[in-house]
């Protein structure tokens, strides 16, 4: 039965380090659908029929893409399996252009957060959190899961995050000083909890609470969403860090490659291609790329 082949494939992917939760659920659903039709091999028409039951265009393309990848695996063992063509479109929608903050925007955001809400630890918590996100490029979930033991002499240890990897994030001396200043006020507030960032209830921050605090601070300084324009979000602090790091990239080709790999590792990207995407983020980066290309075409060195 096709279910057995699917279970073998799921086990293989998980041994390779992939969580493979939603994908596994999808494949088991496809296997049950195919088995119910009495066909124990992957058939293109059945795969398309099953994937087409999803509500949105993107969901249909994603479901078929999952089956296609499984079919390639199964076909290597048994040529009776067909590999469907991606007839339902692309799984990947274009990534939106990120909102990029200026240095002044970030300073004003921190100032706004330090003056919002009750005159308690809340103010310094969000001011410090926004500053840490801006100067390290951490994901919000990574920052709110930090514990005291993750602050080391070498930097912040970010443990088993989005891609089940741990990494070390180096801290600038000014960032370390700001974090230590915050911890001096935070430790007595909830001495039994070792999370770095906590709420007024003396519990770890929630992502939704941090996002709400960011929206409040952004609104107060006039950063608002506009039609057909990038939207200022707390995750855009990470985007801003990545773009500024690329703007500081050296000109030499070999050094550019090293810089991109280092930045990809620092940000915890699963693939360096996710870092190259930032090259399209700002006019300055696009202008730099066009100038390098023009120089190369006219006989100069890249």
Write out the catalytic residue numbers: 139, 162, 235, 238, 269, 278
Query: DSSP letter string over 184-216?
Result: HHHTTTSTT--BSSB-TTSSBPPHHHHHHHHHH
CA dist 20 and 70 (Å) reads 12
Q: Alpha-carbon torsion 164, 166, 170, 174, what sign? A: positive
Strand, coil or helix: 41:
coil
Cβ atoms 129, 172 nearer than 8 A: no
Asked whether the CA dihedral 200, 201, 203, 205 is positive or negative, the reply is negative
User: Of 164, 153, 124, 157, nearest to 143 (Cα)?
Assistant: 157
């Amino acid at each position: 039965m096709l279910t057995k082949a699917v279970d073998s494939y799921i086990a293989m992917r998980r041994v390779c380090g992939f969580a493979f939760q939603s994908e596994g659920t999808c494949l088991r659903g496809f296997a049950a659908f195919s088995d119910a039709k009495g066909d124990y091999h992957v058939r293109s028409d059945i795969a398309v029929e099953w994937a087409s039951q999803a509500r949105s265009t993107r969901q249909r393309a994603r479901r078929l893409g999952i089956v296609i990848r499984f079919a390639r695996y199964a076909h290597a063992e048994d040529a009776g399996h067909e590999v469907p063509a991606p007839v339902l479109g692309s799984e990947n929608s274009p990534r939106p252009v990120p909102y990029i903050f200026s240095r002044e925007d970030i300073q004003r955001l921190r100032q706004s957060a330090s003056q919002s809400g009750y005159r308690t630890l809340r103010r310094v918590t969000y001011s410090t959190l926004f500053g840490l996100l801006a100067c390290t490029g951490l994901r919000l979930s990574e920052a709110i899961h930090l514990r005291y033991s993750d602050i080391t002499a070498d930097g912040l240890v970010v443990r088993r995050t989005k891609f089940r990897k741990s990494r070390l994030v180096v801290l600038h001396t000014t960032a370390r000083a700001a974090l230590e200043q915050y911890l001096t006020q935070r430790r007595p507030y909830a001495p039994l909890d070792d999370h770095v960032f906590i709420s007024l209830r003396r519990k770890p921050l929630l992502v939704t609470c941090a996002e709400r605090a960011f929206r409040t601070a952004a609104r107060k300084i006039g950063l608002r969403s506009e039609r057909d324009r990038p939207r200022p979000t707390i995750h855009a602090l990470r985007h801003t860090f990545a773009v500024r790091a690329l703007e500081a990239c050296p000109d030499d080709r070999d050094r550019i490659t090293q810089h991109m790999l280092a930045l990809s590792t620092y940000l915890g990207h699963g693939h360096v291609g996710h870092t190259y995407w930032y090259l399209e983020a700002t006019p300055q980066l696009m202008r730099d790329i066009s100038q390098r290309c023009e120089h190369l075409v006219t006989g100069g060195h890249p």
